[in-house]
């Protein structure tokens, strides 16, 4: 039962100070291009065999507002990145590279503006309304990429303008081949065990657990209109 005298968590609450966190016994190593949110789930499942909640506690961010925790894959406050870096050993800048703010300058600008003005945190993944940049709540993935790197979900897949994997010339999947639903990716301090290789959806009280690498999606012609258009979009963001 929660302590009735404990102050409720508020938007903008600071994480645990970096000097007070203990370095994790096992180093956490992101895969190239990996998204921070699913990386946390992968490390919890594969490296520590614990829940996301336990790993977030160990990373020193358990006292953040739940909405901010759900937005860790969108943007990080500097103090949050410093705390996670101190606990995990992951360099500060590499953590930023695991969020959308590293790719979209507008994401970071909007993030700083909202914190400065004291508005409600805008990066809630479940019910985004007013900011077009943050409306990408459908999780997308390339089945071939997940087959090659099991459990590694790429940060680029979260962007609204990315719909095709240029490496495999394949449309990104959005639904599980078994339950037929969009995967509801765990983002908060959940105690639910989730292997990022598998669909996390609950079906009749049990986890679906279908391999996401088995999802159906179309292949496209390399050099065709769709391929070239997607390549142009990626190139314009990189420039």
| Domain closes at, from 87, 102, 134 | 134
Residues spanned by the domain of 186? 143-238
Residue 175 DSSP SS3 = coil
Q: Report pLDDT for 135.
A: 41
Q: Which residue has the tokens 């077009």?
A: 132
Q: Is residue 2 part of a domain?
A: no
Q: Which residue has the higher pLDDT, 149 or 118?
A: 149
Q: What percent of the chain has pLDDT over 90?
A: 54
Query: Residue 236 pLDDT more than 90?
Result: no
Q: Are residues 173 and 231 in the same domain?
A: yes
Q: Which residue has the tokens 């790719």?
A: 103
Number of domains making up the chain:
2
Q: Are residues 97 and 186 in the same domain?
A: no
The mean pLDDT value of the chain amounts to: 83
Q: Report pLDDT for 113.
A: 56
pLDDT in tens, 100-124: 875 555 555 555 555 555 544 444 4
Q: What percent of the chain has pLDDT over 70?
A: 77
pLDDT in tens, 50-66: 999 999 999 999 888 88
Q: Which residue has the higher pLDDT, 207 or 8?
A: 207
Q: Are residues 206 and 148 in the same domain?
A: yes
Between the two ends of the chain, the Cα-to-Cα distance in Å is: 52
Q: Is residue 224 part of a domain?
A: yes
pLDDT in tens, 14-24: 677 777 889 99
């Amino acid at each position: 039962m929660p302590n009735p005298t404990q102050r409720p968590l508020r938007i903008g609450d600071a994480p645990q100070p970096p000097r007070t966190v203990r370095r994790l016994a096992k180093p956490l190593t992101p895969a190239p291009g990996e998204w921070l949110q699913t990386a946390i789930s992968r490390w919890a499942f594969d490296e520590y065999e614990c829940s996301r909640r336990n790993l977030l506690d160990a990373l020193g961010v358990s006292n953040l507002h739940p909405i901010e925790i759900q937005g860790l894959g969108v943007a990080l406050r500097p103090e949050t990145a410093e705390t996670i870096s101190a606990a995990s050993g992951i360099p500060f800048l590499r953590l930023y590279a695991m969020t959308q703010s590293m790719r979209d300058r507008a994401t970071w600008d909007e993030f700083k503006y909202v914190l400065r003005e004291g508005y409600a945190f805008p990066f809630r993944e479940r019910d985004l309304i007013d900011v077009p940049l943050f409306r990408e709540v459908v999780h997308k993935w390339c089945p071939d990429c997940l087959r090659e790197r099991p459990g590694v979900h790429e940060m680029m897949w979260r962007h609204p303008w990315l719909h095709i994997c240029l490496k495999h010339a394949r449309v990104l999947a959005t639904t599980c081949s078994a339950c037929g639903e969009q995967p509801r990716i765990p983002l908060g301090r959940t105690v639910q065990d989730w292997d990022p290789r598998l669909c996390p959806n609950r079906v009749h009280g049990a986890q679906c657990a279908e391999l996401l690498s088995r999802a159906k999606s179309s292949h496209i012609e390399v050099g065709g209109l769709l391929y070239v258009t997607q390549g142009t979009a990626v190139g314009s963001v990189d420039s």
